[in-house]
Structures are given as structure tokens and as C-alpha cells.
Amino acid sequence: MPKKIAVIDGNSLMHRAYHAVPPTMNAPDGTPTNAVFGFLSMFLKFYEDARPDAVICAFDAGRPEFRMKALEQYKAQRPPMDDALRVQFPVIESLLEAMNVPVVKVKGWEGDDILGTISARDEALGYETLLVTGDKDAYQLVTDLTHVVTTKRGITDVTIYGPAEVEERYGVTPAQFVDFLGLKGDSSDNIPGVPGIGDKSAA
């Protein structure tokens, strides 16, 4: 059996948890904790089910300037992060480190860039990799050894995407997914596609 490595997209899971768990949880000092609670619930449920040999958690670290230069409007439509969510990131990072889960951040890069880098390394080593993220960009990384685990509903119901699942949902293989998004565009990242091209014609 190959080693199984799990790589968590920390920003993706924190956003998911923040919007899925009601904002009624607070620490004694008043700091919101709903995203922390939701993140840990997802993390522990995933770990119990998947039993990976190792877990790494990646977070965004600053603006991806090279992407901003290539496309000025990249993610420009997104509102600033809520302060109630922002203050919870140091808390979850500290908790992960206390659980001996490596926290990885690289200045000027996004967490999903780290997922891509680690999955490529793992693939070369023959490891099985589980990428835990809600970012559909990760589907381009799917192979027989690399799968994407994404939340489907709430904070504990997940779907695992291998090559067959990606093709069934989108009508393209993982290797074609970049071209697919390039043609249709990606509204979540504010990237325009070819005018008149939608999901069906892009596939």
C-alpha cells in the first residue's frame, strides 16, 4: 500500500466553516470561534475516515502578485475578509501546530499552489494524495493517485473526486480541466472566458 498524504487547503476550509456554522460561538474574551469549531469538526471527521499517514495544512500568504500582473481583475470582485473570520486564522494555526500538523505558508503564494506542489511531489514518489479543498481548480490535479475531497453539504458531508468523478460531472478529464475553465471562464476568480462559451460547449 502506498503512503497516504492529506493536504488541507486551510483558507478554503476556514471559509466553508465560517459560513456553515452560526456566528454564536465565542471565546471568553469575545473572539469568534465558529470557523474554528467548524474547521476542527471537518478536520477530525476527515482524519477519522481517511486515516492518512501524514497531514499538512496550507494557507494563503499575501497577494499572488504575478497573477495580479497577468490579470488585473483577478479575484477583484471578492469583498474583504470579515474581521470575525480573520481573527480566527491565528487560532486555528496554533491549534494545528499543537496537534503536530505542519502549517505551510509561502509569501506571495496561495494555499492551492502549495497543494499543487505537494501533490506533484507525492505523485513522483508514488504516494496517494488527498487534497481537501472546496476550490474546483484542484480538479486539474486529479490522477489515479491524487484525489480531491470536497465538502458537499454542511461541514461533514464530503465527496471524493477521482478521474471518473471529474469526467462524470464536467464532461472533461482532469488533464483537460484547465482548458475547460479557460474557455468558459471562472466567475469565482473573476476570470472571463470566451464569449458565448458555456459548460457544454467548453466540454
Grid cell in block for residue 186: 471562472
The whole-number pLDDT of residue 151 equals: 81
> Which domain range does residue 61 map to?
4-171
Residue 137 has pLDDT above 80, yes or no: yes
Is the Cβ–Cβ distance between 57 and 104 less than 8 Å? Answer: yes
Structural domain contains residue 187:
no
Residue 193 has pLDDT above 60, yes or no: no
For 61-80, write each residue's pLDDT tens digit: 876 655 555 555 545 455 68
Structural domain contains residue 94:
yes
Looking at the structure of the chain, the number of domains it has is: 1
Q: What is the CATH number of the domain that holds 53?
A: 3.40.50.1010
How many degrees, rounded to 5, is the angle at CA 93 between CA 87 and CA 97? 155
User: What amino acid occupies position 159?
Assistant: T
pTM of the model: 0.83
Structural domain contains residue 192:
no
Structural domain contains residue 197:
no
- The edge-to-edge listing of strands for the beta sheet with 54-58 is 103-104, 54-58, 4-9, 128-132, 146-153, 157-161
For 110-136, write each residue's pLDDT tens digit: 888 899 999 999 999 999 999 999 888
The whole-number pLDDT of residue 33 equals: 97
What's the maximum distance between 2 C-alpha atoms anywhere in the chain? Answer: 54
Structural domain contains residue 195:
no
Structural domain contains residue 49:
yes
For 77-117, write each residue's pLDDT tens digit: 556 889 999 999 999 999 999 999 999 999 888 888 899 99
Structural domain contains residue 46:
yes
Is the Cβ–Cβ distance between 13 and 59 less than 8 Å? Answer: no
Give the residue with greater pLDDT, 154 vs 40.
40
Structural domain contains residue 201:
no
How many degrees, rounded to 5, is the angle at CA 180 between CA 176 and CA 182? 120
